[in-house]
Amino acid sequence: MNSNSEKIMINITDHKYKNWRLYLKNKLKKINSNNIEIDCDNLELSCTDIIELIAIVNENNCRIISFCSTSSKTIITTQSLGYKSHFIVEDHSSKTLNINNKDFHPSKTLFHQGTLRSGEYLDSPGNLLILGDVNPGAIVSAEGNIMIWGRLLGIAHAGSKGNSKATISAIQLRPVQLRISNKVARGPKEKPQDGMAEQAKIDSEKIIILPFEPSSSKI
């Protein structure tokens, strides 16, 4: 393989192949660049899947620059493993919109890109999706779910108008305070497992923190 700094996008959902592993292995043999961006499309890949994908790329003397996907599970997993990731949102006309597009504001979800610092406050009348950290001293609130593609170190209040089904998800949940509906809790002190994003929800009248479940945090 020729050494080349140009980035090449590989979409691993080519339907001519039985699975993405076979397609990726074949594609890597034919490219002329060492820098790869992986387009996972709508595949929901686990931490184990991503680690296997990384190993396949490394075996071919390539390196992954970034990932993109329409699956929140895949994006959470890749980011929790330390990779740059781009979430692609599909609108009702089947067009795709990069979440970095500041002109895209769906009625039920507020998007914020960037870290929230001490003293900053962000509130959403629906769901809230943050690309960045929520630092100590910052407060985020939403009537629906809160999803943070970064670290939650400040205060978060989901279900602020009484929705007890709301959830708070983040790559790392270590907040000063968690609130869901009228329930209040503090974040755990121990560090999360590598590649394991976390989610807070109400269970048996108290807030618990579990491994991230994308099916219950639909934005």
Query: For residue range 6-50, what is the model confidence (pLDDT) as tens digits?
Result: 889 999 987 777 789 999 999 998 888 889 999 998 888 888 899
CATH number at residue 117: 2.160.20.70
In the predicted model, what is the mean pLDDT of residues 66-94? 74
Check whether residue 84 and residue 141 sit in a common domain: no
Percent of the chain with pLDDT over 70: 83
Domain boundary among 75, 98, 121: 98
Domain boundary among 71, 98, 125: 98
Check whether residue 88 and residue 156 sit in a common domain: no
Per the structure, the complete domain to which residue 71 belongs is given by 7-98
For residue 1, is it within any domain? no
Domain boundary among 44, 65, 98: 98
Query: For residue range 160-191, what is the model confidence (pLDDT) as tens digits?
Result: 999 999 999 988 888 989 999 999 998 777 76
For residue 193, is it within any domain? yes
Check whether residue 75 and residue 170 sit in a common domain: no
pTM over 0.85: no
Mean pLDDT of the chain: 82
Distance CA 81, CA 76 (A): 9
Distance CA 99, CA 131 (A): 9
Least Cα distance to 129 among 77, 65, 75, 50 occurs for: 75
For residue 23, is it within any domain? yes
